[in-house]
Structure 1
Amino acid sequence: MLVVGDLVTDVVAALDGAPATGTDTGARIRFAGGGQGANTAAWLAARGTPVTLVAAVGDDEPGRARVAELAAAGVRCAVRAHPGTPTGTVIVLVHDGERTMLTDRGANLLLSPADVDAALAAAPETRHVHVSGYPLLDPASRGAGLRALAAARDQGLTTSVDAASAGPLRHAGAAFLDWVRNADLVLANVDEAAVLAGDTDPVAQARALAAVATHAVVKRGPEGAVWAGPDGIFEAPGRRVTPVVDPTGAGDAFAAGLLAAWVAGAAPPDALERAVALGAEAVTLLGARP
């Protein structure tokens, strides 16, 4: 599998209480690898799926550390280092089961169509291409995301796209649907699906997105997920876990569980079950990786 997306350093702060303006708030703070594409690739590798990540970092110590982490985890890294541009950084504030992200995409903005072409040429065994929405949502990296989808179609590979984040989707508007039209699978959480489908019911959201892509999955967090496609509607209940340590990366783990199963031939109900299980595992961990 080929994953196209961001690779960053996450600075995760699990707050002891609501942030107090002008003074201190206690927190557990961890520096770790992050980025939607990289997280999904790490979860795929942890479950035994051969995976290549196409991404960009700075020619700096954080970039080298992020690549080394993924390589040690079993991810093949088609990651180009760019001198003079820092590796991306995301500050993640976690409180009361929710997270707020402050993002500097750094070298991820330099991801190019040539990077995608080189990675596909070096991995002729690739059967599926998964694109994080973040490259598509920024004009600087959009060409790489679009190239990944077009090249996959040209080579007869299946494709999937994760909608990534509701805020940037609001700026992109309906154009995002044009970028992902005819993908084999689109994934979105309920907030992202509300932006794209204009509805609040997850089943209706999934149906609307499946009119753009062949299949659509709406992630409902602890309530589970919904799949819509040519074979109908499938729902999977959520798994309640305690304690919920950090929701960062849970959607990326969900995507990895779903893709690992579906690309291997699992039916939608089985793929959803494995996705929900992996997403539930992720929220029990501090940070976005297995």
Structure 2
Amino acid sequence: MTEPTLDIVAIGNAIVDVIAQADDSFVTSEGVAKGSMRLMDEATSDSLYSRMGPGREISGGSAANTVAGMAMLGCKCGFIGQVADDQLGAVFQHDIRANGVAFDTPTRPAQPSTARCLILVTPDAQRTMNTFLGASQYLPASALDRDLIASAKILYLEGYLWDPEEPRAAMRAAIQIAHDAGRKVAFTLSDTFCIARHGDDFRKLIAEGTIDILFANESELLALTGDSDFDAALGSVSAQVETLVVTRGAAGAVGIQKGETASVPAEPIERIVDTTGAGDLFAAGFLAGQAQGRSLEDSLRMGAIAAAEVISHYGARPEAKLDQLIASRLG
């Protein structure tokens, strides 16, 4: 078995975020629950875009945000995701490569266009995401770079991309490649709507031992298990995975790894501006800590620091130098 040359390779939606401020009444008029994520077709996305206020275009996508954050923390990262041969596709390619992440998935020459997420940020900093998956949902197994996947210590997958059939098949193939190479598989549940649609798949992956590292927030964990008691849900899932990490918003986060439990409070922050990407960057900090050989508690703290940075400004990619920020707070 060859030694890994990368810390992580992620497979996820290749999305460009368009972020705009909105009041509660605008969100309500869209018929979507504030703070949630909904999928939409291209025509509906175009209609909403025309009615939004001035926006900022920033490359996003859950797993892409995570590897971008890890790259900023000195990790060697790769990403696999599908963009179209269009302007937003070029934006995404440039941004992720500029972060030092290996990204060589061939562009898709035909319609639909590159995925975009229209994010409405209300005055309380909650983000309501309206996503057109576009080209990202057409990632084929043939686009997988087998050598890239096998070269990484961890394969990281996002639950959001489990929805379309073609990338779901690609991720199953990637899991097999990673396991054949003796690598670990990490998975983030992404959203309760993903669990509502694919909970049986997720529970089967976990029960079969396919997932080594699982990320969830408290709501997702409870939705996955059907429990109303957090501790009961924590115990049942942690018994099935090597590492379980659960974020709890202002209450911090808890991790269980091979029987060891650690918890950390949320990092203090002067003002929450936009919660987009908080979970993605928490995963980035945690996984970077693990790659650096840090303890479970220190890895959780790194996650909390990275998450606090990203919610202090608009957009799901860090603006501060994460490595310096963590060094100043953690050493």
- Fold shared per TM-score above 0.5: yes
Report the alpha carbon displacement of residue 17 of structure 1 after superposing the two structures with TM. Answer: 5.1
- Residue among 50, 53, 57 paired with 1:31: 57
Identity level (%):
29
Contact 1:2 / 1:53 at 8 angstroms: preserved in 2? Answer: yes
Q: How far apart in 2 are the matches of 1:176 and 1:204?
A: 18
Q: How far apart in 2 are the matches of 1:226 and 1:97?
A: 23
Report the alpha carbon displacement of residue 64 of structure 1 after superposing the two structures with TM. Answer: 1.1
SS in structure 2 opposite 1:79? Answer: coil
1:115 and 2:122 equivalent?
no
Q: In structure 2, what is the equivalent of residue 271 of structure 1?
A: 299
1:136 and 2:131 equivalent?
no
- Residue among 172, 187, 190 paired with 1:161: 187
User: Which protein is richer in strand relative to its size?
Assistant: 1
Q: How far apart in 2 are the matches of 1:202 and 1:27?
A: 39
- Residue among 118, 124, 127 paired with 1:91: 118
Contact 2:150 / 2:183 at 8 angstroms: preserved in 1? Answer: no
Q: In structure 2, what is the equivalent of residue 259 of structure 1?
A: 287
Q: How far apart in 1 are the matches of 2:199 and 2:186?
A: 19
Q: C-alpha root-mean-square deviation of aligned residues, in Å?
A: 2.1
Report the alpha carbon displacement of residue 206 of structure 1 after superposing the two structures with TM. Answer: 2.6
Contact 1:186 / 1:209 at 8 angstroms: preserved in 2? Answer: no
Q: In structure 2, what is the equivalent of residue 7 of structure 1?
A: 14
Report the alpha carbon displacement of residue 65 of structure 1 after superposing the two structures with TM. Answer: 1.3
1:173 and 2:199 equivalent?
yes
Q: How far apart in 1 are the matches of 2:104 and 2:232?
A: 38
> Which deviates the most, 196-205 or 222-231?
196-205
Report the alpha carbon displacement of residue 213 of structure 1 after superposing the two structures with TM. Answer: 2.1
Uncovered stretches (5+) of structure 1, i.e. residues with no partner: none
Report the alpha carbon displacement of residue 142 of structure 1 after superposing the two structures with TM. Answer: 0.5
Q: How far apart in 1 are the matches of 2:24 and 2:137?
A: 34
Contact 1:137 / 1:169 at 8 angstroms: preserved in 2? Answer: no
Uncovered stretches (5+) of structure 2, i.e. residues with no partner: 1-7, 31-50, 319-331
Q: How far apart in 2 are the matches of 1:283 and 1:258?
A: 16
> Which deviates the most, 157-166 or 143-152?
143-152
Q: State the TM-score, normalized to the length of structure 1.
A: 0.92
Q: CA 1:205 to 1:147, structure 2 compared with 1: closer, same or farther past 3 Å? A: same
Q: CA 1:203 to 1:235, structure 2 compared with 1: closer, same or farther past 3 Å? A: farther
- Residue among 169, 188, 191 paired with 2:219: 191
AA partner of residue 214 (structure 2): V
Q: CA 1:241 to 1:58, structure 2 compared with 1: closer, same or farther past 3 Å? A: same
Q: In structure 2, what is the equivalent of residue 65 of structure 1?
A: 91
Deviations 1:168-208 (A, max 9, x none): 21121222121344211100111211110223444433322
Report the alpha carbon displacement of residue 124 of structure 1 after superposing the two structures with TM. Answer: 5.5
Q: How far apart in 1 are the matches of 2:285 and 2:55?
A: 27
AA partner of residue 103 (structure 1): T
AA partner of residue 80 (structure 1): P
Moved over 6 A (4+): none
Q: How far apart in 2 are the matches of 1:184 and 1:90?
A: 29
Q: State the TM-score, normalized to the length of structure 2.
A: 0.81
Q: CA 1:112 to 1:179, structure 2 compared with 1: closer, same or farther past 3 Å? A: farther
SS in structure 2 opposite 1:228? Answer: strand
Q: How far apart in 2 are the matches of 1:287 and 1:208?
A: 34
Matches within 5 A, 1:100-111: 100-111=128-139
AA partner of residue 10 (structure 2): V
Q: In structure 2, what is the equivalent of residue 40 of structure 1?
A: 66
Q: How far apart in 2 are the matches of 1:195 and 1:246?
A: 25
Contact 1:44 / 1:257 at 8 angstroms: preserved in 2? Answer: yes
Deviations 1:223-282 (A, max 9, x none): 111112322322111123121010001110000001111133222111111111111111
Q: CA 1:204 to 1:98, structure 2 compared with 1: closer, same or farther past 3 Å? A: farther
Contact 2:278 / 2:311 at 8 angstroms: preserved in 1? Answer: yes
> Which deviates the most, 82-91 or 169-178?
169-178
